[in-house]
Amino acid sequence: MKPFFPTILVLLIAIAVRADETLYRYEGDVHPLDPSAGWVMGNPCDPPCSEFLEDGHFVRFWSEADDFASYGFRITQPPDAPPPTLWVEWRFRSNFPLGPILVGCDAAFTVDYQGISDLVYMYGDSVITFEGGDFVLGLDMSQFHTFRFESLDGENYWWSVDGDRFVFSLTPGVPNGFNTLQMWGNGGCSIDWFPGMKNEWDFVRYGELDSGERIVATDPPSGFVSSGVLNGLDTFTVTFDAANYIYLDEITVTSTGGIAPTVIAVRRREIDEPDTVEIALDQPPPSGEITRFIFDDGEAVNIIEFADFQIGQAACCLDDGSCQDLTEASCDSLSGAVFRGGGTSCLGDNNNSGEDDACDDLFLIPAVSDWGVVALTLIILTAGTVLIRRPRTVLA
């Protein structure tokens, strides 16, 4: 049998989705008490607790158990009003697994925002709510995980880890004037501890929720890639034109045949900015089929398709002047889009017109000197219509 060397085509359809505006970033490259970071002391890290920076992370280390440490950050304080919406995201790893004591032996994170005051307990392999009734188990302790809080109104909110939303709270609280964040290190418990306990914080970020995002890139990039990528395509990234995030329950995967992969995690990586999200799969997409990833947050849709066979693409001009290289069928599925065909491709906005150069002629507005011709044409057409419809006069 001759060897088969497939290629992959990544087809990207970009439509607006929910977006995030980043208001604050702590990237773990300085101590939280550094003036540039803006955190304030809660409880100091005293021996046997120690703190240091390592590989771009803020690290807490315990040689013995039971030393509690925390830092707080004020989002706003009176009389300043808090942001109308809020997302908070942090990337964390611990070498301490969940033991017989469910809460309070490893790390925690608290959010106070308008009428909300809640926290989650984090272990290397799990995350548990304050009440203990909601949790995610089985996290990979070798990896950093992306934790997230989000609220659209200061009353209702949810927590997630790696895109898995495990808490939806619809019980409004009473605003208490506190709008703060706290990151905790609890140092283990005397009956649930081992030497060398370590917490690593990669970043803490927060901002306002917005809308109007577009996916502008994928990795692997849109277009043909090697066959080796197909066999190892268990993760890929999507990059938006501003900060954004995706949840597991917003992603649907379909395939024209074979077994479609399942999205098992959505997370940030070490190098990822807030506009880039990694999508982790349980297996690569099947060969010889088209696999479609549909990102739908209830307000807008993004679609990405993978295929290991040739699919004709050309410039597809969207109604906002942007352009994507798509198949005709995919372009036709977008409201207001125009498929240029004929071997065309997107060119970018090199003339700063506000539209892709491949689409400029679709958005042309007549120059001032052209308006006279337009007006004259309209007058002639109108007059012709009147003459045609004028009734015949019969003389007596």
Contact criterion met (CB below 8 Å) for 25 and 272: no
Contact criterion met (CB below 8 Å) for 240 and 214: yes
How does DSSP assign 230-291, residue by residue?
HHT-SEEEEEESS-----GGGEEEEESSS----EEEEE--TT--TTEEEEEESSPPPTTSEE
Tell me which of 32-46, 186-200, 283-297, 301-315 is least confident. Answer: 301-315
**In the predicted model, what is the mean pLDDT of residues 114-134?**
91
**What dihedral do alpha carbons 27, 32, 37, 39 form, nearest 10°?**
130
- Are 51 and 175 members of one domain? yes
- Are 64 and 158 members of one domain? yes
Burial of 299 by CB count in 10 Å (0-12 exposed, 13-18 middle, 19+ buried)?
Answer: exposed
**Is the pLDDT confidence value at 393 over 70?**
no
- Our CA angle for 11, 14, 15, nearest 5°, is 145
Q: Which residues are within 8 A (CB) of 187 and not within 5 positions of it... i.e. 6 or more apart? A: 48, 49, 62, 65, 66, 67, 68, 69, 193, 197
Contact criterion met (CB below 8 Å) for 337 and 327: no
- Are 39 and 156 members of one domain? yes
If one counts the domains in the chain, the total is: 3
pLDDT at residue 116 in the model: 92
pLDDT at residue 212 in the model: 62
For residue range 49-81, list pLDDT tens digits in order. 999 999 999 999 998 876 789 999 999 887 888
Q: What is the SS3 assignment for 218?
A: strand
- Are 197 and 106 members of one domain? yes
For residue range 147-202, list pLDDT tens digits in order. 999 999 998 999 999 999 998 887 666 777 789 999 999 887 767 777 889 999 99
Q: What pLDDT band is residue 210 in, cutting at 50, 70 and 90?
A: confident
Identify the bridge partners of residue 51 per DSSP, sorted by sequence position. 60
* Whole-number Å distance between alpha carbons of 107 and 200: 10
Contact criterion met (CB below 8 Å) for 297 and 250: yes
Tell me the pTM.
0.78
The answer to whether position 23 is within a domain reads: yes
Contact criterion met (CB below 8 Å) for 298 and 249: no
Which amino acid makes up residue 332? D
- Are 237 and 183 members of one domain? no
Tell me which of 53-57, 222-226, 371-375 is least confident. Answer: 371-375
The answer to whether position 186 is within a domain reads: yes
The answer to whether position 11 is within a domain reads: no
* Whole-number Å distance between alpha carbons of 232 and 142: 20
- Are 227 and 203 members of one domain? no
- Are 147 and 95 members of one domain? yes
Q: Which residues are within 8 A (CB) of 357 and not within 5 positions of it... i.e. 6 or more apart? A: 347, 348, 349, 350, 351
- Residue finishing a domain among 271, 292, 308: 308
164's tokens: 């898995």
- Are 199 and 106 members of one domain? yes
How are beta strands 223-225 and 338-339 bridged, if at all? unpaired
The answer to whether position 282 is within a domain reads: yes
**In the predicted model, what is the mean pLDDT of residues 100-127?**
90
Length of the chain counted residue by residue: 396
Which amino acid makes up residue 61? F
pLDDT at residue 13 in the model: 42
- Are 250 and 101 members of one domain? no
Residue from 19, 1, 12, 7 nearest 211 by CA: 19
- Are 98 and 80 members of one domain? yes
* Whole-number Å distance between alpha carbons of 268 and 315: 31
Contacts 24+ apart (CB under 8 A), 262-267: 263/163, 263/293, 265/162, 265/163, 265/164, 266/146, 266/162, 266/163, 267/91, 267/144, 267/145, 267/146, 267/162, 267/163
- For CA atoms 127, 124, 246, 296, the dihedral sign is negative
- Of all helices (H) and strands (E), which one includes residue 381? helix 368-389
Tell me which of 22-26, 217-221, 372-376, 391-395 is least confident. Answer: 391-395
The answer to whether position 8 is within a domain reads: no
101's tokens: 């004591």
The answer to whether position 38 is within a domain reads: yes
CATH code assigned at 51: 2.60.120.200
pLDDT at residue 327 in the model: 75
Higher-pLDDT residue of 117 and 288 is 117
How many Cα atoms occupy the beta-carbon half-sphere of 74 within 13 Å? 10
Q: What is the mean pLDDT of the chain?
A: 82
- Are 203 and 229 members of one domain? no
- Residue finishing a domain among 211, 241, 274: 211
- Are 288 and 341 members of one domain? no
The answer to whether position 143 is within a domain reads: yes
Whole domain around residue 345: which residue ranges? 312-389
